[in-house]
């Protein structure tokens, strides 16, 4: 399976740096425009040039979806991204057989719910932080 990163709402220097780093590692980076947010995640690499129906809920959060990475190489990739300050604060997910059937909007909503639950749990364990 081809190593791929789907990116949402990245631009400028950060996107350019990511494209350069990814090319060196043989990783395909696909910026996903809002017009494709209703496509299933598994369809996006093939659908990136196909027309799509827009509409529906918009989201502005930056998001990254990783596909085709083994666990060890994924950990190395995350460290490389951290060192180069790429994707800091963005929502991140690994494509799985389950979420591959979801649309970008569905994944975004799930990641937002998980983020909210994480911050609530952290606040309850570490009040004042």
DSSP percent split of the chain into helix, strand, coil, nearest 5: 50, 15, 35
By the 8 A CB rule, do 100 and 42 touch? Answer: yes
Both tokens of 114, joined, read 């998980």
Rounded distance, CA 107 to CA 116, Å? 14
**pLDDT one-digit tens code per residue, 31-55:** 999 989 999 999 997 655 555 555 5
Percent of the chain with pLDDT over 70: 90
How confident is residue 56, by pLDDT bands cut at 50, 70 and 90?
Answer: low
How confident is residue 109, by pLDDT bands cut at 50, 70 and 90?
Answer: very high
CATH architecture, domain defined by 4-125 = 2-Layer Sandwich (3.30)
Q: In terms of Cα–Cα distance, which of 76, 61, 68 is closest to 116? A: 61
How confident is residue 60, by pLDDT bands cut at 50, 70 and 90?
Answer: confident
61-79: average pLDDT = 93
Q: 71 by DSSP, 3-state: which?
A: helix
């Amino acid at each position: 399976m081809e190593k791929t990163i789907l990116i949402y709402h990245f631009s400028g220097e950060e996107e350019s740096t990511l494209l350069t780093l990814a090319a060196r590692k043989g990783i395909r980076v696909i910026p996903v425009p809002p017009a494709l947010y209703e496509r299933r995640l598994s369809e996006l690499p093939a659908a990136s040039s196909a027309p799509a129906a827009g509409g529906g809920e918009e989201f502005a959060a930056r998001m990254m979806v990783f596909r085709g990475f083994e666990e060890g190489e994924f950990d190395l990739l995350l460290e490389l991204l951290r060192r180069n300050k790429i994707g800091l604060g963005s929502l991140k997910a690994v494509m799985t057989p389950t979420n591959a059937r979801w649309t970008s909007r569905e994944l975004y909503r799930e990641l937002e719910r998980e983020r909210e639950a994480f911050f609530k749990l952290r606040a309850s364990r570490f009040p004042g932080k």
